[in-house]
Structure 1
Amino acid sequence: MIPIADTIRRLVPMALAVGGGLMLTFSANSATIFSDDFSDGDISDWITSGNVDPFNNESIRLRATSNASRPISTAGFSAVSVDFGLSASSLENGEFCYAEVSTDGGSSWTTVITVENGQDNGTIFTGSASPAGMDNNTQVQVRFRGTGATTGDYCYGQSVTVNGTGGASTDPDIDAPASLNFGDISPGNTSTLSAMISNNGTADLVISNVSNPAAPFTIASNNCGTVSPAGSCQLTVDFAPSADGSYNSNINVSSNDPDASNVTIALSGSASSTGGGGGGSVENFDPLNGSGTVSRSSLTFTTLINGNDPGQLVNYSHYALPTNAAMPSNQFEGSLELFGEATGGAFDEQKDTFRYTGNGDTTRKHLPEFDFELVQTGSHIFPVQRGSIPSSHPEWEYILTPGRVWDENGDSGYSRVALPFALQQKNANCIHNGVMTFLFKDDGSVSDVAYQIAGETCLYYQVDMWGQLDASYTPHSVNNAAALTADYQAEVNGRVPVKPLSALAQDYPGTDPSKFALPSGKDAANMSLVGFVIDGTHYTGGCVSRQGDYPYCESMPVPSYSSAKSVFAGSALMRLEKKYPGTFSQIIGNYVPDCATNGNWDDVTFENALDMSTGNYKLASYMSDEGASHTNDLFLPEDHASKISYSCTEYPRKATPGTTWVYHTSDTYILGRAMNQYVKGIEGSSTDIFTDIVVDEVLAPLGISPTARFTRRTYDSVQQPFAGWGLMWLRDDVAKIGDLYRSGSQSVLDQAELDAALQRNAADRGNEPLNDYKYKNGFWAHEISANLPGCSGELWLPFMSGYGGISVLVLPNDTLYYYFADDDAYTWMDAAVESHGIRSLCQ
């Protein structure tokens, strides 16, 4: 079956539908009691089981066997009916998608729509029902349900609307939990829980007072005031004991509910110096079904427990989750600390273009200090800190990403952890990927930690590192562990469905996957990640290393280099133009005093800087100015003053701004500073162009990982984000970010400027760096019509590009292709032509 197209449009049943929200009226006329078309991407008020996530701001997506239900009160309404919209993809025989309604709180269900194999081509089916018992009933529920066998089977709930005829008599009806139990934590830590207060009545619930509990309980947030019928509000409560003991208190909630004007929420929790963290039951998240019988010749129990350092690199298969791994019997929560990092371990240089290491035992040959909190959920383990973590080490900073936990019968009751990590060069963007592994028990027992690095995304510096270090595990309760775990599970469940690139041959007969996996001119040994996204599926490859395949591709971080000029600088400016029309025309010199001193920036607009057409340069020939002076005076300094002084003063005025393309990463750095100061002047001095605009408003709604919410900044108090390089991504982040640009329309970025960036406007293509190339709004484009059969007229293909061998193609047939490599080769035409063979690129 061919998966559903990402461009499937949602059904809006009747003009009364309101996106993702509620609308109630109370007259004798027909009214909408509840409606959701999922256009706001918020499914937090749905009760879900299995793999369920919002999809593309147009539907609620269910994968494999899963369901999503929503309680609704129809009290005070008669002639109640429900309308559904439902579609599906990739179903096989015996797999179904259902839209259902219940009138008894979910004990029994009436099926309104069924979609099966043969109907799973993205067609939206609609249906309506008015089963007995729908009227004047507080126990109505609506549900979408799927019975697929794998996460590659999809059901899409497109819409649901409940209508009825309203009556005149209405009352509010409060519903609140009777208690919150915070469990046992260590003194000095904080546990946070939320109480959802709902209105099951047919009139507004007015909450007039919420009492404060006794210490160590406090109300952290309270958005409860007036709650609409079928709506809810939330109290968030912190439990932060400072000493051992058992604690109890309560919260009294007063409202206009005639039957329960005061309700009490009981609070309880305990603290003990030896309690919390480690131990406890293992969640059933992503369960493992193996017997634990694993044959192991490297990284054995004896090797790790007795400190028998193997003294050599091993194939990464020994770090991988074994096929027959059993569910872990121990629960990790607390801190892992390593010892001897500054002297232990081995090092083997593979490539050093700039002669960084020398022959001595330099700090570059050893790990930074390691002492970090980790939390386990089921068979997964994740670090509390993500992104590039500041370090006192002069050379390296850690990037920690999620790993796996499992049991092997030969490990004597210990559970085994594999934790992906990477070293990123301080103040730089190269990423060197590795894995750590160790054994642990609930009681804090822990083995040595073995580690190795045998691959990277870095053109100029490549090394192997390996070793085995003493370690300690301190079980303790991690602050907000429950919320962190919920966020991590949502991250995993929200990933774009993945298949290997080889599956393209089966899913799209006649396709040659090798054209994507290794386009002509590329070297497989240098391909960190490669992927192709089409019709909601992410086909992946790469993950090679010098010691076999890297085993945790989903957790491998890769650098952005200059593709950040598209994702950071381009997206930021297009977002600001959407919010504040005229931003593109703002003048650099008005916002960057360092650039106002020589007069060269008094007529340069934000758009000119983004387009590499400031008119300030030395040499107009291709990339001639992007040379040694950049390395010494822009990339290497760690403070903002040095970077901005160089960027503003290095290049004289040679041409009218907007007329001549000359590539300067320094111009993007200036633009990042100008945008930062501009938005601070509008939204407040605490606003940050990356965190508050790029992440919160552009990337976070896409569901990117915590790893992707990081940017390189200066190390001084200014902490200026670089804008033109310094981001990092996991492969799922690349797929989701690409989806934003692939979409024909969106509501986050200025549409006209996005269309220009993606060459959808023939009158606004940008300047020409080379023959048949354009550069507009931080995006490159190449005219490729001569390579494609069946195309007439020009075809400009937009793409992002990064130093060393990074390409991300935003293909006009609603597909995405990317690779992250370090062979300094930028050949991708084979993949573009093969994508054209699946679905025409001709516009």
Structure 2
Amino acid sequence: MLHFSSPGRRPVTSALLLAGGLLLALPAYSATIFSDDFSDGDISDWSTSGNVDAYNNESIRLRDTSTATRGLSTAGFSSVSVDFALSASSLENGEFCYAEVSTDGGSSWSSVLTVENGQDNGTIFTGSGSPAGIDNNTQVQVRFRGTGSTIGDYCYGQSVTVSGTSGATTEPDINAPASLDFGDIAPGNTNTLGATISNTGTADLVINNVSAPSAPFSIASNNCGTVSPSASCQLTIDFSPSADGSYSSSISISSNDPDEGNVTIALYGSASSGGGGGGGSVENFDPLSGSGAVSRGALSFNTLINGSDPGQLVNYSHYALPANAAMPSNQFEGSLELFGEATGGAFDEQKDTYRYTSNQDSTRKHLPEFDFELVQTGSHIFPVQRGSIASSHPEWEYILTPGRVWDENGDNGYSRVALPFALQQKNANCIHNGMMTFLFKDDGSVSDVAYQIAGETCLYFQVDMWGQLDASYTPHSVNNAAALTADYQAEVNGRMPVKPLSALAQDYPGTDPSKFSLPSGKDAASMSLVGFVIDGTHYTGGCVSRQGDYPYCESMPVPSYSSAKSVFAGSALMRLEEKYPGTFGQIIGNYVPDCASNGNWDDVTFENALDMSTGNYKLAGYMSDEGASHTNDLFLPEDHASKISYSCTEYPRKATPGTKWVYHTSDTYILGRAMNQYVKGIEGSSTDIFTDIVIDEVLAPLGISPTAHFTRRTYDSVQQPFAGWGLMWLRDDVAKIGGLYRSGSQSVLDQAELDAALQRNAADRGNDPLADYKYKNGFWAHEISANLPGCSGELWLPFMSGYGGISVLVLPNDTLYYYFADDDAYTWMDAAVESHSIRSLCQ
């Protein structure tokens, strides 16, 4: 039987977290890290070469020249030792059976036990070893190896046990911000910021000294002395300039951290007569060259300033940046607050499959409370908060994305803002896209805010919303505004070059752009975003709404739905396999106690869950289980306990894991939980599978936007990411994420598993959802050779798919095609064939 120490089974740390956050130190103790005696007859978690099988529920049998290898992690353990039991039969001179250990991922091996001719009578020999470097190591491997010359030469691996001392090493670990940016304030004023100094180690952190910064910075308070593990202390620093200018200084903190005895916090700030948030000079970022002579037919100065609500939707062109817009003369930095959201505005239902709005006073017809910080840089303005923002509203949460700022001559000295926003249902993935606009001045003067929603990516609920609300603008310094601005400018400058899809006809003569913009069977009115990436250029379309084209396509967020199964679940598991070989073979039941209780998950691997082949199901028909009870029992509950209980217990065992494809979003939710607990056991309890693995190690290096750093999570203290749905992207994010899979090789994900996901390995294509379809590692594939002239043999085209009408094609000619729509149609063959006409898809 195979065992791993994991959360919920065997503790691997030396401290117990009590109520109130107090850490109680515990003595170090011995623990079993890994063991296998092969009594369950399952060797699927072992990587084998040669002739290897499970023998009589008592050993792993190797014949001829063969190997059986298992990867594991000893992170958090010291004094690690490995115990082997090994026997042999029918060896000749010069033939051996070995039990070996590697501490470098299999590059080199240490022999712990050897059995040779003369010892090959079935006697079980045992041996123990502790090779150098085995402690606290994520790259440990154990191996049985036979060097027989015929199939009649036998080695029997009887058992292997890896044990060690948990929590034997304790030391403090200081964590402090690298810098504090006090922004721009008026001379004679003071801005105060706090710096949290935390101890992420396992022993007391002793702060020996905190140096004083130079004027006009000063330390206002300091409660830092001895900081317990997992606790923190605070420094508060004042910035009080008396004259205009830019200022900088630093604070040095010395402690008993063995690795970072001294850390430095850089301090920045500026002072100007217009300081204090808002006002000041307008940066020359993305400058506008127009004269400001704009003819305006809607949302005029009088409409916004005098509060004369237009009372109807307007064409989105009135929210767009005009061709003759002038560079803004006012600088926005501070908070914008709206009033009357709960009662103001109009609502017109377009489609309501589940009759959400049958109540005439439904809260769903009104906006959530709006009070958010915005920062302007040149002709751009961006929200400090991105992603789906938690709300007290019972139905909606905001998504805020970057917009534009400009001057028009008719606005009487005010500058005009157009701010994209969206509403997202709580706990769901639909996105309803809209726009806001308002006028402002440096001194805090602000008009009403006009808003409207006239489009969405949502199959079952489609509505128009519009209105005009009172507002207030509070100029103030936004914390870390300079760093946020630098990051935003880098985001804009780092976007992939964009052209309209129509330009394909000029850039690639003979191409029909309509095959990409609207494949046969798709509804033009449903196309939120559509794009094709080739040779470093992003050709784009879509952005339609019920009121003309949406004016800021680069800022329109779209939902992932089940394409998250590829980007989140698939990427996470392939990343973990690259870091910790053998992760694909980990057992769900070892990491999710809710699933272990019924016995149906004790032989289901992480790979089985990713491949939708757990063997646990009710209805074998295509998507039959998925629609039967998921809505009420998986998608609607907001807490982890309800979601995981349903997911683990809903389906009985009907097939051997790995043999039968049955689609369950609940299986991906279980996998997300299992991966989260697995990586916490290796890298520490604060590790998060989405933030620390998917974002920091896979997606952020691609240059994705802050919007794409978000995932839906449960609303309780667990905050479990959904894994199978709940991401959101801007169009540049889609192009960049697709590029990770489109490229031939990379070093972030396990290459063999990525090749399998993308159908580059004919021996590992996955199971069959339908005729001519495959599903592997969270990716779909369709065999399309019959549609392509000039191709011989099979051609499996991998793609991602999402509910409502989302498709992302990873084309084997190094191009990418995608659309995000809500017409419940998934036709894309026209685009694939047209890509083939530009550059062959034949492999």
Q: TM above 0.5, one fold?
A: yes
Equivalent residues of 2:182, 2:270 under 8 A apart: no
Larger Rg: 2
Query: Structure 1 pair 401/183, CA: closer, same or farther in 2 (3 Å)?
Result: closer
CA distance in 1, matches of 2:709, 2:401: 13
Query: Structure 1 pair 395/341, CA: closer, same or farther in 2 (3 Å)?
Result: same
Equivalent residues of 1:347, 1:466 under 8 A apart: yes
CA deviations on 1:24-44 (whole Å, 9 max, x unpaired) are xxxxxxxxxxxxxxxxxxxxx
Query: Structure 1 pair 447/615, CA: closer, same or farther in 2 (3 Å)?
Result: same
Give the CA deviation at 1:189: 4.3
Aligned pairs (5 A) from 1:14-163: none
Aligned to 2:561: 561
Aligned pairs (5 A) from 1:593-604: 593-604=593-604
Query: Structure 1 pair 302/717, CA: closer, same or farther in 2 (3 Å)?
Result: same
Give the CA deviation at 1:824: 0.1
Aligned to 1:136: none
Aligned to 1:150: none
- Determine helix, strand or coil for the equivalent of 1:676: helix
Q: Structure 1: which 5+ residue stretches go unaligned?
A: 1-179, 193-208, 220-237, 254-264
CA deviations on 1:107-132 (whole Å, 9 max, x unpaired) are xxxxxxxxxxxxxxxxxxxxxxxxxx
CA distance in 2, matches of 1:451, 1:182: 30
Give the CA deviation at 1:627: 1.1
- Determine helix, strand or coil for the equivalent of 2:624: coil
Give the CA deviation at 1:187: 3.6
CA distance in 2, matches of 1:671, 1:250: 47
Give the CA deviation at 1:183: 5.0
Aligned to 1:241: 238
CA deviations on 1:468-509 (whole Å, 9 max, x unpaired) are 000000000000000000000000000000000000000000
CA distance in 1, matches of 2:340, 2:182: 41
CA distance in 2, matches of 1:780, 1:181: 49
Matching of residue 184 in structure 1 with residue 191 in structure 2: no
Alignment-mate amino acid for residue 292 of structure 1: G
- Determine helix, strand or coil for the equivalent of 1:734: helix
- Determine helix, strand or coil for the equivalent of 1:595: helix
Alpha-carbon RMSD: 2.6
Query: Structure 1 pair 778/412, CA: closer, same or farther in 2 (3 Å)?
Result: same
CA distance in 1, matches of 2:507, 2:709: 33
Give the CA deviation at 1:385: 0.1
Equivalent residues of 2:454, 2:547 under 8 A apart: yes
CA distance in 1, matches of 2:511, 2:540: 15
Give the CA deviation at 1:212: 4.6
Aligned to 1:311: 311
Aligned to 2:806: 806
CA distance in 2, matches of 1:248, 1:524: 54
CA deviations on 1:307-353 (whole Å, 9 max, x unpaired) are 00000000000000000000000000000000000000000000001
Alignment-mate amino acid for residue 613 of structure 1: S
Equivalent residues of 2:320, 2:551 under 8 A apart: yes
Equivalent residues of 1:182, 1:191 under 8 A apart: no
Aligned to 1:496: 496
Query: Structure 1 pair 329/609, CA: closer, same or farther in 2 (3 Å)?
Result: same
Alignment-mate amino acid for residue 684 of structure 1: G
Aligned pairs (5 A) from 1:229-308: 240-241=237-238, 275-308=275-308
Aligned to 1:445: 445
CA deviations on 1:559-581 (whole Å, 9 max, x unpaired) are 00000000000000000000000
- Determine helix, strand or coil for the equivalent of 1:544: coil
Q: Structure 2: which 5+ residue stretches go unaligned?
A: 1-180, 196-208, 221-234, 253-264
Aligned pairs (5 A) from 1:698-713: 698-713=698-713
Aligned to 1:606: 606
Equivalent residues of 1:449, 1:469 under 8 A apart: yes
CA distance in 1, matches of 2:247, 2:402: 36
CA distance in 2, matches of 1:384, 1:210: 30
Give the CA deviation at 1:362: 0.9
Alignment-mate amino acid for residue 324 of structure 1: N
Give the CA deviation at 1:248: 8.4
Equivalent residues of 2:185, 2:277 under 8 A apart: no
Aligned to 1:717: 717
- Determine helix, strand or coil for the equivalent of 1:548: coil
Aligned to 2:86: none
Give the CA deviation at 1:359: 3.8
CA distance in 1, matches of 2:250, 2:360: 64
CA distance in 2, matches of 1:831, 1:803: 20
Aligned to 1:24: none
CA distance in 1, matches of 2:806, 2:298: 34
Alignment-mate amino acid for residue 668 of structure 2: T
Equivalent residues of 2:182, 2:477 under 8 A apart: no
Equivalent residues of 1:244, 1:272 under 8 A apart: no
Aligned to 2:729: 729
Alignment-mate amino acid for residue 438 of structure 1: F
Structure 1 length as normaliser, TM-score? 0.71
Matching of residue 475 in structure 1 with residue 475 in structure 2: yes
CA distance in 2, matches of 1:368, 1:745: 45
Query: Structure 1 pair 785/331, CA: closer, same or farther in 2 (3 Å)?
Result: same
Structure 2 length as normaliser, TM-score? 0.71
CA deviations on 1:280-325 (whole Å, 9 max, x unpaired) are 0000000000000000010000000000000000000000000000
Give the CA deviation at 1:361: 1.5
CA distance in 1, matches of 2:560, 2:536: 23
Alignment-mate amino acid for residue 331 of structure 1: Q
CA deviations on 1:540-562 (whole Å, 9 max, x unpaired) are 00000000000000000000000
Give the CA deviation at 1:210: 11
Equivalent residues of 1:241, 1:271 under 8 A apart: no
Aligned pairs (5 A) from 1:553-632: 553-632=553-632
Give the total of aligned pairs.
623
Identity of aligned residues (%): 89
Query: Structure 1 pair 494/251, CA: closer, same or farther in 2 (3 Å)?
Result: closer
Equivalent residues of 2:707, 2:730 under 8 A apart: yes
CA distance in 2, matches of 1:361, 1:267: 51
CA deviations on 1:781-806 (whole Å, 9 max, x unpaired) are 00000000000000000000000000
Give the CA deviation at 1:240: 3.6
- Determine helix, strand or coil for the equivalent of 1:241: strand
Alignment-mate amino acid for residue 404 of structure 2: R
Aligned to 2:637: 637
- Determine helix, strand or coil for the equivalent of 2:385: coil
- Determine helix, strand or coil for the equivalent of 1:549: coil
CA distance in 1, matches of 2:607, 2:414: 58
Equivalent residues of 2:530, 2:818 under 8 A apart: yes
Query: Structure 1 pair 744/266, CA: closer, same or farther in 2 (3 Å)?
Result: closer
CA distance in 2, matches of 1:298, 1:610: 51
CA deviations on 1:608-653 (whole Å, 9 max, x unpaired) are 0000000000011100000141000000000000000000000000
CA distance in 1, matches of 2:193, 2:773: 55
- Determine helix, strand or coil for the equivalent of 1:342: coil
Query: Structure 1 pair 301/641, CA: closer, same or farther in 2 (3 Å)?
Result: same
CA distance in 1, matches of 2:210, 2:194: 20
Equivalent residues of 2:183, 2:481 under 8 A apart: no
Aligned to 2:49: none
Give the CA deviation at 1:682: 0.2
CA deviations on 1:36-93 (whole Å, 9 max, x unpaired) are xxxxxxxxxxxxxxxxxxxxxxxxxxxxxxxxxxxxxxxxxxxxxxxxxxxxxxxxxx
Aligned to 1:675: 675
Aligned to 2:833: 833
Aligned to 2:358: 358
Give the CA deviation at 1:241: 1.5
- Determine helix, strand or coil for the equivalent of 2:283: coil
Alignment-mate amino acid for residue 758 of structure 2: L
Alignment-mate amino acid for residue 809 of structure 1: L
Query: Structure 1 pair 336/629, CA: closer, same or farther in 2 (3 Å)?
Result: same
Alignment-mate amino acid for residue 184 of structure 1: I
